[in-house]
Amino acid sequence: MTILAAFGMIVLLVDLALKRAQKPLTAWLSLVGFGAAGVASLAIMEQRGSGFGGMIALDPYAQVLGLVAILAGALTVLTSFHYVRDRGIGRSEYYALLLFSVSGMVMMAAAHNLIVVFIALELLSIPLYVLTGFARPNVESEEAAIKYFLLGAFASGFLLFGIALMYGASGTTDLERIAQGIAQTGASPLALIGAGLILVGLGFKVAAVPFHMWTPDVYEGAPTPITGFMSVGAKAAGFAALLRVFVSSLGGIQADWVTLVAILSALTMIVGNIVAVSQTNLKRMLAYSSIAHAGYLLMGVAAANRAGVAGALFYLVAYAFTNIGAFAVLSTMARPSGEDQTFKTYRGLYRRSPALAVMMMIFMLSLTGIPLTGGFIGKYYLFLSAVEANLIWLAVIGVLTSVVSAFFYLRVIVDMFMREAEPQAEVEPVSYRPLNFTVNLSAAAVVILGVVPMAVLTLVTTAAQLLVG
């Protein structure tokens, strides 16, 4: 409880301040906000409790996911700093919206009531719609925003309808009481339909197939730092709710929904990875890759065991660093005059900027799931959960699609290291300190998570115990 209140106030204060302050200052102020929220969240990591009449849970699970969102927000501020300035879109609202969106994500992580899930979803989404369209003179950005908004609103409707049906079936929107009711009476058809609609609504947020249609266009159109933020934060928040609702509340009737989620997971992995193969634009490729990663995460939901939850949490942490880092690299290659994110742009990057290319290589290897990166441990944990839950066929699809994914992640490495740039197409990456800091920090974190993952593993295991006792 305390954390959320504190966090909300920080957001508001910062927001107030930045209206008046100098423009660069607002970014730093928002960073302070993120920092304070992060520290507060770390401080109460071990505490447990609830607030607002049980609507908000205070537990390590909420803190871990909250921290992922806060981290994503903070790193995005660092990546955005020059990006928005160079494009003349560095208005203070940018950072305020970012803060609001993150507060929605933190709220989502702590939501213990379906109503709060819905409110949090709106709180995180609406700023994101605006942020997507922030590169205003840019038509693609506007198109992306409209598309995101329309489909997002549609998905919200699904979610709300699902919540209503769930309420009709169980007489409550409190997640724990839903679980108790199900334990006593079993699942009514009404509750199942409700659960299905909730799955659709949240599936849209995390970009699961077949609710993924918006992803490539929105990712491509949005300002690059925002794309990175969206791919991490929105996914973390979506899975926060998915895991809480399905694993914790509906865990009693896992048999009824496991096949559906498993099929969704399989489809997401297959479609995401296979379509990514044929992309020529790096931003679009990463969009499909983000779809595919939603599939791996869904594996943890389907397994619905402790390893599944802990694995998904670890994966989200690793994925946050990896993707934010990767998009930060993309940001260095973007020009205010227009972005050319085709693979060609990256040819011979190693010659021009060895450090950047090596970092990007680390991110790509982590996304592929090569050992000694955080992505590998995360994937490993999720496969472990699937095998444990006897979903071996799903794990097999997971590993096979991983091989497919190696193809397009390697292509980035091939272009950076093994091909030479065409002279006229050479793009010199920009170099700003906050941006480089994000890239380096993310790469270091990815490697640390892969080599000495114990600290984070302990954290996510404690968090998972809450959901699966």
Partner 1 sequence: MTQSPLPLITIVTFLPLVGALFMLFQRRDDTATLKRTALIVSAITFGVSLLFVVRVGPIGGFDLAQPGFQYYERYDWIPAFNIGYEVGIDGISLLLVLLTTFLSPLAILSSFEAIKDRVKEYYIFMLILESGMLGVFISLDLFLFYVFWEVTLVPMYFLVGIWGGGRRVYAAIKFFLYTMAGSILMLLAILWLGINGGSFSLPTLLQNNSWLAGAPEMALFIAFAAAFAIKVPLWPFHSWLPDAHVEAPTAGSVILAGVLLKMGTYGFLRFNLALFPNASREAAPVIAVLAIIGIIYGAIVSFAQTDVKKLVAYSSVSHLGFVMLGIFAFTPQGLQGALLQMINHGLSTGALFLMIGFLYERRHTREMEQFGGLWKIVPVYGTLMLIVSLSSMGLPGLNGFVGEFTILLGTWAANPVWAAVAATGVILAAVYILTMFVKMFMGESRNEENLHLVDLTQRELWVIVPIVIFIFVIGLYPNPFFQTMTASVSALLQPLGGSVAIAP
Contact residues for partner 1 (CB under 8 A)? 365, 370-372, 376-377, 380-381, 383-384, 387-388, 392, 395-396, 399-400, 402-403, 406-407, 410-411, 414, 417-419, 453-454, 457-458, 461
- Least distance to partner 1 from the beta carbon of 417, Å? 6
Residue 13 identity (one-letter amino acid): L
- Least distance to partner 1 from the beta carbon of 268, Å? 18
Nearer to partner 1, 131 or 359 (CB): 359
Nearer to partner 1, 108 or 365 (CB): 365
Nearer to partner 1, 3 or 456 (CB): 456
Nearer to partner 1, 39 or 403 (CB): 403
- Least distance to partner 1 from the beta carbon of 416, Å? 11
Contacts of 337 (CB under 8 A, 6+ apart): none
Taking the C-alpha atoms of residue 301 and residue 312, their distance in angstroms, rounded to an integer, is: 8
Nearer to partner 1, 418 or 425 (CB): 418
Neighbours of 318 (CB within 10 A): 27
Extract the tokens encoding 406. Answer: 């190696």
Taking the C-alpha atoms of residue 402 and residue 386, their distance in angstroms, rounded to an integer, is: 15
Extract the tokens encoding 355. Answer: 């450090």
Label the pairing between strands 56-58 and 49-51: antiparallel
- Least distance to partner 1 from the beta carbon of 173, Å? 35
- Least distance to partner 1 from the beta carbon of 398, Å? 9
- Least distance to partner 1 from the beta carbon of 285, Å? 16
Question: 């960073």: which residue's tokens?
Answer: 31
Alpha carbon separation from 7 to 3, 38, 331 (Å, rounded): 6, 9, 29
Extract the tokens encoding 317. Answer: 């942490």
Taking the C-alpha atoms of residue 241 and residue 121, their distance in angstroms, rounded to an integer, is: 9
Nearer to partner 1, 166 or 391 (CB): 391
- Least distance to partner 1 from the beta carbon of 400, Å? 8
Nearer to partner 1, 319 or 376 (CB): 376
Taking the C-alpha atoms of residue 343 and residue 360, their distance in angstroms, rounded to an integer, is: 13
Provide the b/e sequence for 154-177 (b: ≥16 CB within 10 Å).
ebbebbbbbbebbbebbeebbbee
